Amino acid sequence: MQKLSAAIEKRVEDLLSRMTLEEKVGQLVQVDLYKIPDFETAIKEGHVGSLLSSFDAQNNNRFQKAAVEGSRLGIPLLVGNDVIHGYRTVFPIPLALACTWNPDLVEKATRIAAEEAATVGTSWIYAPMVDISREPRWGRIAEGAGEDPFLGGRLAEAQVRGIQSAELTNGWQIVACPKHYVGYGAVEAGREYNTTDFSERTLRDLYLPPFKAAFDAGAGSVMSAFNEIGGIPATANAFTLQTVLRDEWGFDGVVVSDYTSVAELINHGFAANMKEAARLSILAGLDVDMMSNAYLDYLPELVNEGTVPIEAVDRAVRRVLQLKFRLGLFEKPYVDETLAPGIILKTESRDAARETAEKAAVLLKNEGGLLPLAPNQQKQKIALIGPLADNKEALLGTWAGQGQPEDVISILEGIQGVLGEKAELTCVPGCDIKGATAPDFGPALAAAQAADVVIVALGESADMSGEAHSRAIIGLPGHQQALLDALHATGKPLVGVLLCGRPLVIPRMAEQVGALLLAWHGGVEAGAAIANLLFGKSNPSGKLAVSFPWTEGQIPVYYSHKNTGRPIDQGVRQFDEEYKSFYLDVPNTPLFPFGFGLSYSQFDYSDLRVETPSVGVDGTLVASATLTNVGKVAGEETVQLYVRDLFGSVTRPVKELKGFQKVTLQPSESRTVRFEIPVSTLGFIGLDLKYTVEPGDFKVWIGPDSASGLEGSFRVV
């Protein structure tokens, strides 16, 4: 965020000098207004610095009035809300947004969410979630950008820009809060809130880069995580909160705990009681205590007894006050209560949600060109079958903000909107999502037998992913696979539509359907987007931001793995490779790899040129390839560049994404796609745990995904 003027800095110091200890501590306290009695009195007495989950403009103005006009110093409140993938206009879940590989589109979606959230007085948005995760059993993989730190970093920057846009309609300013700092995506066994264990090198190479990208984009706050790092919980981890964040990166924003994570230091076995939890957190560099009330109850006592120096409290309070000035809350504390109707669910916002849902969907299979279906074929008989065929709530996905099911276009409604009276469309659920009741497949099979083509909409409900929704078995829930088995036995052409909040284990489904469209949980316009894709009004262009495993036993499976001392070629065991690193029963490779996604166009890659076969450590790698649309329709391709450092003082992954470009081509059109990659970005955390770029031999690939492409080489000198 912008730097403060000398005049504002003077105002901050003046306020700080006039505050009592209790008023200072109050600025470090965040509470849910429904959790404490006589809330307005607490605000007027200076015991509350920020609100949590307050979505009503009138209430927020009332509480602001209590702070600004009713308290001794008139310091306004921050209003913090979770706005993860839309406010009322719900966009695809963040993992789906990542599959667009389109930072500009993600920034636009995030800005629309901020526009809507601002209408109720939101000044602090707890997003983006930038946790890198290779663990699909973990429900919160839905909230992040997938498995790769490079892609995750580019999308983190975009979301910060969207949230912190200086041009919101009502003149409001909102601060982004990247989370969860740090390593939360590494939870063991994919179980929510579980422990984590990784080296400092992994921390610095994998988990920290997206946070650094978010801060470089100007993020003004950050949220600490629930997990531990090296045996020390993130909420009281001085290494990550002070050494890395403040000393190395120079971050001057606010650090807020996750919900009650200060109190949870006791459960971790790190603090004996709440007083000790408060002391450990403030000394480690945590500024704001969300919902534990440990600071409120114990910080004054800790300061008065000399256990916590007043300077530690002052530093935290200063950062909170600076943030409030940066947001303009002292000049404009109240929100215009008349703005919401003109901003919430605008036509333009819904159009953007539909475009995003179309570009987030990934075509995983299209055998024999089954898709797109012909929308103009008279009296085409279509059976739409599955528990998600006419389900609105599931399409909202996890953390759907203020989204309402009645806002959603279902798949049935989307197809009806495309086809009108041109087809005979029958819709049958076939079974429920979770298998709560014994299924009767009879009506579904009858509909399938009478149809020319069957569209099968299967997957997860909204409450099967997200926070506290880990799953050990991540196949199709309930009786859905049995339904698909029965439909497959009819011999009818099957088009699968998969709606989910995580990568699922679906090898059987992928084999049985002729075409498979991964539509995720796509938001309020999901049904319209899916229909447009199925019937060729839009051309799929999404690419996976996370690998899909064959089975849970493969997890974690990701493209940028290490080679090991006993690798096997292409991830598939050969007959003479008995003592190598492989499974006896499944491939090493994923079912669908990172970066993968088909189109109704066909793209040909040719003429790889490495223009800098020898390049200095301060130079730029330049490589290009020719992309040609050899298909019959215009299409968009995401061209990806990967490198491998063949030999290093520390072992390196077999591939690392270092660049990507979106290219749209007409049929028969060709274009040279050229990458200029600073060699300074090809380094890693070396033996001394410092970032380094080492001279040596590299491979480079330009292609459509992480598992294929044209291969070349270069040397860093």
405-417 pLDDT tens trace: 999 999 999 999 9
Long-range CB contacts (< 8 A, 24+ apart) of 66-71? 66/40, 67/43, 67/333, 68/333, 70/40, 70/43, 70/44, 71/43, 71/44, 71/45, 71/46
- Give the pLDDT score at 378: 62
Q: For 190, phi and psi rounded to 5 degrees?
A: 70, 15
Rounded Cα–Cα distance for residues 643 and 676 (Å):
13
Please give the single-letter amino acid code of residue 498: L
- Give the pLDDT score at 423: 78
- The dotted CATH code for 30-326 is 3.20.20.300
Query: With helix as H, strand as E and coil as C, how does 52-93 read?
Result: ECCCCHHHHHHHHHHHHCCCCCCCCCEEEECCCCECCCECCC
| Contact of 203 with 182, CB cutoff 8 Å | yes
Is the pTM higher than 0.85?
A: yes
- Give the pLDDT score at 452: 95
Q: Are strands 78-81 and 50-52 parallel, antiparallel or unpaired?
A: parallel
- Give the pLDDT score at 329: 97
Domain boundaries, the chain: 30-326, 345-534, 601-716
Q: Hey, how many other C-beta atoms are within 10 angstroms of the C-beta on 575?
A: 5
For the stretch 311-356, pLDDT in tens is: 999 999 999 999 999 999 999 999 999 999 999 999 999 999 999 9
Burial of residue 574, with CB atoms counted within 10 A of its CB: 0-12 exposed, 13-18 middle, 19 or more buried: exposed
3-state secondary structure of 675: strand
Architecture of domain 345-534: 3-Layer(aba) Sandwich (3.40)
Q: 412: Cβ–Cβ under 8 A, 6 or more apart, which residues?
A: 384, 389, 390, 425, 427, 527
- Give the pLDDT score at 377: 64
List residues with catalytic annotation: 258
Q: For 445, phi and psi rounded to 5 degrees?
A: -70, -40
Beta bridge partners of 383: 426, 454
From the options 2.70.98.60, 2.40.50.100, 2.60.40.10, 2.40.50.700, give the CATH code of 601-716: 2.60.40.10
Please give the single-letter amino acid code of residue 670: S
Q: Average pLDDT across each block of 10 residues of the chain; the chain has 717 residues. List them in order.
A: 90 98 98 78 95 95 97 98 98 98 98 97 98 98 98 98 90 95 98 98 98 98 98 98 98 98 98 98 98 96 98 98 97 94 96 98 98 80 97 98 97 95 90 95 98 98 98 98 98 98 98 98 98 98 98 98 89 71 93 98 98 98 98 98 98 98 98 98 98 98 98 98
3-state secondary structure of 97: helix
Rounded Cα–Cα distance for residues 163 and 29 (Å):
23
